[in-house]
Amino acid sequence: MVEKKYLPIWVFESASGQAVIRLYEGLQDMIKERRRDNPNYGEYFEWLYRKCKSKKRKPLKKDIATEHVQVRNYTSFLSQKELEEIGFCSYGTNVKISRYARIYSPEKIKIGDNVRIDDFCILSGKISMGSYIHISPYTCLIAGDYGITLKDFTTVSSRCAIYAVSDDYSGHSLTNPMISSPYRYPYGGEVILKKYSIIGSGSVVLPNVTIGKGSAVGAMSLVKTSVPKWTICAGVPCKKVKKRSKDLKKLENKMITEQKAGVKYMNILITGSNGFVGKNLAANLYCIKDGKNRTRDLTIDEIFEYDIDTEESLLDTYCEKADFVFNLAGVNRPKEQSEFMDGNFGFASKLLDTLKKHHNTCPVMLSSSIQATLIGRYGQSDYGKSKLAGEELFFEYGKECGAKVLVYRFPNLFGKWCRPNYNSAVATFCNNIANNLPIQVNDRATELELLYIDDLVEEMLDALEGKEHHCEYQELDPVADEAGRYCYVPTTHKATLGEIVDLLEAFKNQPKTLLIPEIPEDSFAKKLYSTYLSYLPKEEVSFPLKMNVDDRGSFTELLKTANCGQFSVNISKPGITKGEHWHNSKWEFFIVVSGHGLIQERKIGTDEVIEFEVSGEKIEAIHMLPGYTHNIINLSETENLVTVMWANEQFDPKHPDTFFEKVEEK
């Protein structure tokens, strides 16, 4: 009746119809796999599914919902109950065996902890596996009674074949298992893969072979004889290529130490990963993941980046696996006002529903805006209303599911990679001034509260470590409160548009004046300078310096500061003496970075000369003392002498404080 596509209507609307839907959806991955070889596979099953799907049905009963979960898991690895039913000699914890694998003589098979056996593998005979082992798809292990042993941390790649027993190919006997003795004479011997060994894809290992500890067999190799330890080999037949690194031992020790210490690797989901905040956060998380940043007590396994262009189905996977979610996705400049609610509320709802679907109650962070206060000039903001709706959605989700919810109301953001001419005045000013484009300032007195991207990222890392900062709001101002409903970044800056533009103009003029404005630690000016530099066009990244050149060499001013002096570089040709002057108040450092020289100093009114032989081979800083005439002599006959000089004040031609006097009379 199904083949003729004829069934009574009640079938589609019944509990049986519901079961068809659940079964088909649970087997979709298998059907897709089978259709690679047979495009018509499951055609009638699909027709039945679509028919049932199109009809109205009664609500599912509780027992049916439970059955649904079981069916949905049908395409995964075998359950614990199913593993027990196979009848292994023994098996450990965290054993994952594909239901598409085939196991023969399970009573002869021992499996340790943390073992994974993938789709379409065949295991037959006496097999012993240690822990942390992976057998990849389409691999065959034919052990017979001779045995195959896989020690800890071994890997067998896809489409490999390992034989502990084989037929005699000499022609003196028949050669398949349907032949009995005395007409068939199989031979064999135990195959052993020792600790840390790996077999490359498509390789064949013959009986009575031992793969030595830490050795690797290249893809498509034929292994007829044993492989020495810590060796990389490949070929037909397999031959030694080179030695293999022993770093695997250190990595194992590190892993075990972390496990004992209870270190948990995190999977982190970032929505809106292509945005300004998302890019900066992801870049810093990768530094932690890759071990480049060791300042944080975080261990990261995977970073899931999700944005508007990401395959939508991946959100489901990411939400299932995530241990922490940064929801940075949102709409700032829509074409229609209605898009605010769709982008800032609608997606948030979809994200939380997906987490609910997988019963994932990991911490979730929401990037909101100070506009969500709907106070003052934000009172009629559609953007603010959409953000507020998103906040309430997250708070309700936290109450319903018991998940930790972190809601941040960010003020105006700035920093590298921020999009100009979009929603950041600072980004626009930095970009336009750096690129010689006009800017418009309507009111120089307008004050902005500004949050620097690096400060924001540090707070996000604090949140990952469970050290987020909580607050409540008094109108637009966050007030620290450990029990506060909201979270905030403690460090922000306030500056007027006029102050911002003036600083940027000073940065712009720096190549001409060589003057670095005051940039105290953690100041807004310091952070703004970093931001400005990120917008420089490539032709502005370098700029020429004025070299004062004569027959003795050259002298070039490098950088000047308002209160901390200036830097210069002096180049002296072979045999040349420079200096021969003294200062009342000015002091300097001379630092020879290349060449071989002699620095001499003499206190005015005395005859004693103090000397310092200097070289680029041993870099040191020499004080030029106030009230001491001094010089520097290039002792080399062939090389220039290069000296970096720092003076405690800028050179003032009106008050040079520099007086000629030789150190030594010849």
Q: For residue 538, give both structure tokens.
A: 């490539």
Angle at 81 between CA 103 and CA 360, to 5 degrees: 115
Provide φ and ψ at 156, rounded to 5°.
-115, 115
Say which of 163, 306, 378, 383 is annotated catalytic.
Answer: 383
Burial label, 178 (beta-carbon count in 10 A; 0-12, 13-18, 19+): exposed
Question: From CA 601, how far away is CA 662, in angstroms rounded?
Answer: 10
Pairing of strands 231-234, 216-217: parallel
| 123 Cα distance to chain centroid | 38
Torsion angle of C-alpha atoms 359, 361, 365, 368, degrees rounded to 10: 60
**H-helix or E-strand spanning residue 646:** strand 641-647
* 258 Cα distance to chain centroid: 20
Q: In a 10 Å sphere around its CB, with 0-12 CB exposed, 13-18 middle and 19+ buried, how is residue 582 labelled?
A: buried
Print burial letters for 119-135: b (CB count within 10 Å at least 16), e (below 16): bbbebbbbbbbbbbbbb
Of 353, 450, 463, nearest to 408 by C-alpha is 463
Q: Which of 396, 289, 412, 296 is nearest to 345 (CA)?
A: 396
Q: Which two tokens stand for residue 442?
A: 């309507």
Q: Three-state DSSP class for 347?
A: helix
Active site residue 383: yes
Strands, E assignment, 276-391: 300-306, 324-327, 364-369
Positions marked active-site? 383
